[in-house]
Amino acid sequence: MKLYKFLRFGKKARRKKTTSNRRRLTKRKFLLAASLAVLLLAAMYIIYLDFTVRTRFEGRRFALPARVYARPLELYPGLKLKPAELVAELELLGYREAAASREPGSYRWRNQLVELVSRPFTYGDGAQEATSLRVTFGSDRVKALQRRADNSAIELLRLDPALIGGIYPGNNEDRVLVRRDEVPQLLVDALIAVEDVRFYAHRGIDPRGIARALVMTVSGKSVQGGSTLTQQLVKNFFLSAERTVRRKLNEMIMALLLEVHYSKEEILETYLNEVYLGQDGNRAIHGFGLASSFFFDKPLMQIDLAEAALLVGMLKGPAYYSPRRHPQRAQERRNLVLGEMAEAGFITDQQLLAGRITPLGVVERPPRGTSPYPAFLSLVHRQLRRDYRDEDLRSEGLQVFTTLDPWVQRSAESALGKQLQRLEQGRGIAADSLQGALLVTDTQNGEVQALVGGRDPRFEGFNRALDAHRPIGSLIKPVVFLTALQQPQSYTLATLLDDSPLLLQQPGTDDWQPQNYDKEFHGQVPLRMALARSYNVSTARLGLQLGVPSVLDNLRRLGVDHELPGYAASLLGADAFSPLEVAQIYQTLAGGGFRTPLRAIREVLTFDGLPLQRYPLAVEQVVDAPSSYLLVTALQDVVRQGTAQGLHRYLPAELGIAGKTGTTDDFRDSWFAGFSGDRLGVVWVGRDDNQPAGLTGASGAMTVWAEMMAGLALEPLILPVPDGIERVWIDPQSGLRSVAGCPDAVELPFVAGSAPAESAPCGPGFKGNSLKNWFERIFR
């Protein structure tokens, strides 16, 4: 029995042992399979990370914004320019005054002589080297250009254009790419000494460096971090800024993979272009290439030891160690970097001491953001979008050369801001309630030289110059009178117009009864004086006789490209236009009847400086020369003896300015459009809430226009007389012929054969039996 029990127990034990072994074997197999699966997944994940690293890094395509430049100032003998104006341009470009100007970007001014060294720059027609020259002035003009080396004459020299902004990626990153051989070794030494002293020894991660950084950080004796340069690049280039274990593991794996595929120099070059180094308004400064010009106004290769140490020191906290906002912190951090360089053997003790006592050398400049001229840049961007995809504008590094004249822009911004404040103070208007917008163009080619979208020219929001559509009031009247003058057998500058009360009754609409500004009627008035004094009633009668559709057809020919309702009130400016649209209308008038589309771009180059697209001058004659000549003559009378006479307080009469004031109902909008021989300006003043501003065109917008133009060198408006024009003396009261010496007689231009045949009592060939006809003409 005992033996039986023993044998039975042994059999059970063997079965349990076998079962346990089987379970243990199954568990091992499961663990092995699970391990293999984990390894397979890990391998697949590493392959995915490897693909990500190689795909993104091999292209190393940074999103480069389009860089937008102002027009370059071209210097040549005979140019109308004062020494102070040239110096102002140089200072705008960031040139520095020096006792002996020898470096590019420096100048020296002494009375009628300016010596300077221009910067090199690549234009669409080739590279221009740095040039050391002497500019001699006389009678407010450039008298001579000479090379300082041998006194040889220079016929033409272009200064480098001012960078006025960019069209940036969504995060507004900006950078200037540099190659490894364009980076001074002292900057690389500083970077390695502080951020990764074993950079050339490790393979992406550095356990010794991590341990050393941990110990030294606890002791407070080091400025080093634990991550290698490769890890920092991976974090910035591939990953987010989240602080998680998973992100850190990804960073370490990708750093190892990066080092497997690419050389140290390739990794270092990408790092130098990627890092964030500060903020300029809403523009993010990335890479040492841009940081060098942003902080020191010099190319990266020209920075010295102390400047290199400062830039590297800022990596730890660009805002906290900003040399402009926190110079003491920045200096202390720079000196720590210099100390690390000395400890690592990159610099001598003598260099260390010299570097520590060197001033920071940071160039002071106001924050610029994406552009100091956001309103103008908005126009540039809109015109570029006709030809380019928006993503290309924000990533391909295009170079856009525009028409902006910084000197004109500065005058425009100053005039608008100062004059709006004066108007508010002088007329008891609530402070900051007035707004305004203006444009300045070149009358010869339609280039937009300046554009201001509001009284705060740095505001990047609503752009009134482009997007504020307001009734233009009397600015429409020249179009009405042009339509009449295109019929010379019926209308001339001497034609008498009826300015008696008018009541227009049409089915389905309210009665229309226009009034003059002075609430009076003036009987028979010469056509040119009806325009000069901006009489509403006579203009309305004339427009109705011509037909509203005829006037609107002319408006379209002048450059308006949107539909117009065509009401009778349109004849007095009830329709709304933007200042840009008004500028296009008056550009055609100032251009002698030739329509030239307004343009803000001259040409576009690729990132490498290759011509991509030019924007040539496009001209189409839409108004015959005689009609255009007669109208502009009448617009000059607006300034000589009409609603714009007040311009003479600001500008000499010899300039022969032509212009027109505009005022809308309840004084809600104040307009002025005027032009000299070379510049056209359009100004709007009013309120954003459309409440009455209490200003006429003459008391508001015209004063801004005058203030602006008084600060510019204007060419007089001298009209070339077209073929088929004759001049005849006219009696203004009767509109009949007169002679020089007769009371109030004026000499007016006429299309040949259109001048009146009859004579006034003082006129040539007057016969007594014509007296009855003369009185009838006056009193009819």
Span 206-218, pLDDT tens digits? 777 666 655 655 5
Residue 3's pLDDT is what?
46
CA distance 197 to 146: 52
Q: Kindly state the tokens that stand for 204.
A: 């992406």
The residues annotated as belonging to the active site are 195, 474
Cβ(486)–Cβ(627) under 8 Å? yes
In a domain, 92, yes or no: yes
Axis-axis angle for helices 406-427, 83-92 (nearest 10): 100
Q: Which residues pair with 157 in a beta bridge?
A: 75
Q: How many CA atoms lie within 13 A of 507 on its CB side?
A: 0
Look up the CATH number of the domain holding residue 465: 3.40.710.10
- Domains in the chain, number: 6
Give the confidence band of 100 by pLDDT, cuts at 50, 70, 90.
confident
Question: How many C-beta atoms lie closer than 10 Å to residue 739's C-beta?
Answer: 18
- Contacts for 1 with CB less than 8 Å, ≥ 6 apart: none
Identify how many contiguous H helices and E strands the chain contains and give both numbers.
23, 31
In a domain, 170, yes or no: no
In a domain, 363, yes or no: no
Q: What are phi and psi of 187, to 5 degrees?
A: -70, -40
Residue 775's pLDDT is what?
46
Digit-coded pLDDT (tens) for 621-659: 999 999 999 999 999 999 999 999 999 999 999 999 999
Residue 316's pLDDT is what?
92
Q: Kindly state the tokens that stand for 116.
A: 């300077």
CA distance 762 to 55: 92
> Do 597 and 451 have their domain in common?
yes
Short-list 73, 556, 583, CA closest to 379? 583
Pairing of strands 399-402, 173-175: unpaired
> Do 530 and 587 have their domain in common?
no
> Do 731 and 678 have their domain in common?
no
Residue 768's pLDDT is what?
43
In a domain, 585, yes or no: yes
> Do 595 and 710 have their domain in common?
yes
Pairing of strands 601-605, 399-402: antiparallel
Domain that holds residue 690: 371-469+578-721
> Do 312 and 267 have their domain in common?
yes
Residue 778's pLDDT is what?
45
- Contacts for 54 with CB less than 8 Å, ≥ 6 apart: 261
3-state secondary structure 260-306: HHCCHHHHHHHHHHHCEEEEECCEEEECHHHHHHHHHCCCHHHCCHH
Q: Of the residues 549, 574, 599, which one is the last residue of a structural domain?
A: 574
Look up the CATH number of the domain holding residue 89: 3.30.2060.10
> Do 234 and 253 have their domain in common?
yes
Burial class (CB in 10 A: 0-12, 13-18, 19+), 193: buried
DSSP 593: T
Q: Kindly state the tokens that stand for 232.
A: 């920092």
Look up the CATH number of the domain holding residue 209: 1.10.3810.10
Q: Which residues pair with 496 in a beta bridge?
A: 526
Total residues found in the chain within this entry: 780
- Contacts for 548 with CB less than 8 Å, ≥ 6 apart: 566, 567, 568, 570, 571
> Do 509 and 586 have their domain in common?
no
> Do 220 and 318 have their domain in common?
yes
Digit-coded pLDDT (tens) for 515-546: 999 999 999 999 999 999 999 999 999 999 99
Whole-structure pTM value: 0.84
Q: Kindly state the tokens that stand for 468.
A: 């504020």
Short-list 524, 529, 499, CA closest to 514? 499
> Do 239 and 341 have their domain in common?
yes
Residue 774's pLDDT is what?
42
Rounded to 5 degrees, what angle do the CA atoms 238, 322, 69 make?
75
> Do 407 and 503 have their domain in common?
no
Residue 770's pLDDT is what?
44
In a domain, 297, yes or no: yes
Q: Of the residues 703, 721, 739, which one is the last residue of a structural domain?
A: 721
In a domain, 650, yes or no: yes
> Do 73 and 57 have their domain in common?
no
Q: Of the residues 18, 43, 62, which one is the last residue of a structural domain?
A: 62
CA distance 309 to 303: 10
Digit-coded pLDDT (tens) for 294-336: 999 888 999 999 999 999 999 999 999 999 999 999 999 999 9
Higher pLDDT, 215 or 368: 368
Higher pLDDT, 6 or 162: 162
